[in-house]
Amino acid sequence: MTYVVTENCIKCKYMDCVEVCPVDCFYEGENMLVIHPDECIDCGVCEPECPAEAIKADTETGLEKWLELNTEYANKWPNITMKRDAPEDAAEHDGEEGKLEKYFSAEPGEGD
């Protein structure tokens, strides 16, 4: 198993998760992060740190597309280990429906 980042990270990107990961396996896109499934050691410490509750264990049902998305973009985006400020409008988008279709960007983030 692995942990994966899911829809509610999009445009929230609070980044509390990156500071607690012992193996630095978060990767940064323009408006969300992903976890590298082959690097994640399933420790679970990031899950309760996410204010958007966007991090899930992939043993939960219905997360196949998120596992695919995390796998694909962890191999394309830069590594991120240091927290930066969340987007100014993060709270407005927290919990919004349909963020994948509306806002997902395949562009990489800045990384460290």
Residues that bind ligand SF4 (CB under 6 A): 3, 5, 9, 12-17, 20-21, 23, 25, 33, 35, 40-46, 50, 52, 54-55
Query: Shortest approach of ligand SF4 to residue 80 CB, angstroms?
Result: 9
Q: Quick one: 22 or 62, whose CB is closer to ligand SF4?
A: 22
Give the separation between CA 31 and CA 86, rounded to whole angstroms.
Answer: 10
Q: Quick one: 38 or 64, whose CB is closer to ligand SF4?
A: 38
Q: Quick one: 54 or 61, whose CB is closer to ligand SF4?
A: 54
Label residue 85 left, alpha or beta by phi (over 0 means left) and psi (-120 to 50 means alpha). Answer: beta
Query: Shortest approach of ligand SF4 to residue 61 CB, angstroms?
Result: 19
Given a contact cutoff of 8 angstroms between Cβ atoms, the answer to whether 32 and 9 are in contact is yes
Give the separation between CA 51 and CA 86, rounded to whole angstroms.
Answer: 11
What's the CA angle centered on 21, arms 20 and 23, to 5 degrees? 145
Query: Shortest approach of ligand SF4 to residue 64 CB, angstroms?
Result: 18
